[in-house]
Structure 1
Amino acid sequence: MPDALPPLSPQDALVAVMVAVSASDEEIRTSELLAIERIVNNLPAFGGYDADRIGTIARTVYALFEEEDGLEALFGLVREALPEAAFETAYALACDVAAADGTLNQPELRMLEETRIELGLDRLHAAAIERGARARHMPLPA
């Protein structure tokens, strides 16, 4: 990891959180990558954002995951880049990416919990965000 990592933009920080949740189980699924791309291409928070930066941010997240205190460093960068008012947005996007493949495994659940804690989100608010993600990604019965 380079010593002089440039600061993240708020949009970079949102992407970093989404990538971190996707990579948390060491298996980045196509559905999760497509969810990140869809989110970046369609949400107002990413207006004017250069989607080509997703790869750079992903490589940064992967490199941080290789370091001993990388997760702590990642959340430090995220908190520094994001205004506190966007912490719930970051958590909501992380939940949408985690739910995109229809399953939540233990590493993803732990990463979501860590994200909630690191961003200082209330459990009740987080539960509401999680329920919304689950509802958006639930298939209709046949």
Structure 2
Amino acid sequence: MSDQIPHPLSPQDCLVALMIAVAASDENMRTAELVKIESTINNLPIFASYDLDRLRIMSQTVFDLFSVEDGLDALFGLIRDNLPETLNETAYALACDVAAADGTLNDRELRLLEEIRYELDIDRLHAAAIERGARARHLTI
């Protein structure tokens, strides 16, 4: 893993890492997913002070972790250690938005979202509401 990453990760780094993980989960990062991540970082208040250069570092971190056995477990360990619980639902909502950005959800994305729900201890009813909101925001005519 890269030596450039100061530990602990910021809460924003954790949010970005999860968004990247969802986009990369099917080994095919689509333009819509990348645009969604960058737009999210540029527009949401939680990222107001976030250094956009960290996006590249967090991307490389996720790719490095995905290239090793148990890398997903290591990613979730970093998230658990550095993301305040109060941001768990935010993290899940951002992950759902990235997954829905290209208009399709494949099996790998669905499995990763399920794992994120489990790892972040998102209540099933809350998860359903978050998923419904993401679906509503990304519908096309």
TM-score, normalised to structure 2, is 0.95
Where do residues 5-20 of structure 1 align in structure 2 (5 Å cutoff)? Answer: 6-7=6-7, 8-20=9-21
Matched, 1:86 2:84: no
2:109 counterpart letter in structure 1: E
Closer, same or farther: CA 125–5 of 1 in aligned 2, 3 Å: same
Q: What RMSD, in angstroms, separates the aligned Cα atoms of the two structures? A: 1.3
The one-letter code matched in structure 2 to 1:27 is N
Q: Is the contact between residue 10 and residue 82 of structure 2 (CA under 8 Å) also seen in structure 1?
A: yes
The offset of 1:67, in angstroms, is 1.3
Aligned residue in 1 for 2:29: 28
Residue by residue over 1:7-40, the C-alpha shift from the partner in whole angstroms, topping out at 9 and shown as x without a partner, is 2110000000000000000000000000000000
Query: How far apart are the structure 1 equivalents of 2:2 and 2:41?
Result: 26
Structure 1 residue aligned with 2:140: 139
Structure 1 runs not aligned, ≥5 long: none
- C-alpha distance in structure 2 between counterparts of 1:4 and 1:30, whole Å: 26
SS in 2 for 1:17: helix
Percent of residue pairs bearing the same amino acid type: 66
AA paired with 2:38?
E
Q: How many residues align?
A: 140
- Secondary structure of 1:109's partner? helix
Deviant stretches of 4+, over 3 Å: 2-5
What is the 5 A alignment of 1:59-74?
59-74=60-75
Residue 6 (structure 1) shift: 2.8
Unaligned runs of 5+ residues in structure 2 are none
Distance 1:109 1:42, change over 3 A: same
Inter-partner Cα distance in structure 1 for 2:102 and 2:122 = 24
Find the aligned partners of 1:38 and 1:62 in 2 and give their Cα distance: 21
Determine the structure 2 residue equivalent to 1:51.
Answer: 52
Q: TM-score, normalised by structure 1?
A: 0.95
